């Protein structure tokens, strides 16, 4: 079957991917710093908000963004992994079965990290919850590292640049298998909401509109308690 360049990843999916990657990396790097604690909190909230959006987009989004297009199927994962050791490894237009499993795990860990981080910041659960938050973040970092390695390996085996595909949205696939809409307005809304959240946190918006105002109020309440 002949293949051609088709659009697979819509703009909201791509925006979510890179915003989540940047937010998680920033939150992880600032986790142990008292000086940058506010940044850590804001980026943690960003991760939580982005995951909530992705869960919604996984239901109403385009063909390859929907969860129904990459269900959790252990048997398919094993078949896919076995095919990698043959001369004809399985090729999937959207997420391959192994990648699908990693995506679900990353979303689950990101959600858990966000929830436990919020609870720990508000002093719920004590030291045990704070340790759980740290453990979840470390597990997520390890999974992300495995995911990156798998993407590089898959790119070599299938002779396609999967990183570039998540930037421009295009892959090689059968004619007619691509999506027809990029959903630029949805992506713009996600980007503006995230940037607006960050701008408000940095004090670049009127007082009371940003996340940092809530953080400052929370710290003031803790200091006076």
Determine the average pLDDT of the residues in 194-200: 92
Are 42 and 197 in contact by the 8 Å Cβ rule? The answer is yes
Task: Tell me the mean pLDDT in the region 127-141.
Answer: 93
pLDDT of residue 78: 94
pLDDT for res 60: 97
Give the global pTM.
0.87
Model pLDDT, residue 175: 86
Rounded to whole angstroms, how far apart are CA atoms 10 and 19? Answer: 14
- pLDDT tens, 51-79? 999 999 999 999 999 999 999 999 999 99
User: What pLDDT, in 10s, does the model give residues 153-162?
Assistant: 989 988 899 9
Q: How far apart are CA 127 and CA 145, in angstroms?
A: 27
Say if domain 3-189 classifies as CATH 3.90.1150.10: no
User: Which runs of E-coded beta strand occur in the chain?
Assistant: 3-7, 170-174
Which tokens hold the place of 192? 């503006």
**Residue 216 pLDDT grade (very low, low, confident, very high; cuts 50, 70, 90):** very low
**What is the largest distance, in Å, between two alpha-carbon atoms of the chain?**
69
* 124 or 93, higher pLDDT: 93
pLDDT band at residue 204 using 50, 70 and 90 as cut-offs: low
Arithmetic mean of pLDDT, 110-139: 91
CB distance 5 to 15 below 8 Å: no
């Amino acid at each position: 079957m002949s293949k051609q360049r088709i659009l697979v990843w819509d703009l909201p999916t791509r925006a979510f991917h890179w915003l989540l990657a940047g937010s998680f990396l920033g939150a992880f790097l600032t986790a142990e710093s008292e000086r940058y604690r506010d940044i850590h909190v804001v980026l943690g909230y960003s991760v939580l908000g982005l995951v909530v959006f992705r869960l919604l987009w996984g239901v109403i989004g385009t063909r390859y963004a929907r969860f129904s297009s990459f269900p959790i199927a252990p048997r398919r994962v094993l078949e896919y992994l076995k095919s990698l050791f043959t001369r004809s490894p399985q090729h999937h237009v959207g997420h391959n079965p192994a990648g699908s499993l990693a995506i679900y795990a990353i979303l689950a860990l990101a959600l858990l990290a966000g929830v436990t981080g919020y609870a720990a910041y508000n002093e719920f659960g004590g030291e045990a919850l704070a340790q759980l938050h740290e453990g979840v973040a470390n597990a997520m970092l390890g999974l992300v590292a495995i995911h990156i390695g798998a993407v590089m390996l898959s790119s070599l085996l299938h002779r396609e640049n999967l990183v570039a595909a998540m930037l421009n949205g295009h892959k090689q696939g059968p004619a007619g298998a691509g999506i027809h809409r990029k959903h630029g307005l949805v992506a713009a809304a996600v980007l503006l909401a995230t940037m607006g959240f960050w701008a408000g946190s940095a004090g670049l918006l009127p007082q009371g509109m940003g996340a940092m105002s809530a953080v400052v109020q929370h710290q003031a309440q803790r200091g006076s308690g």
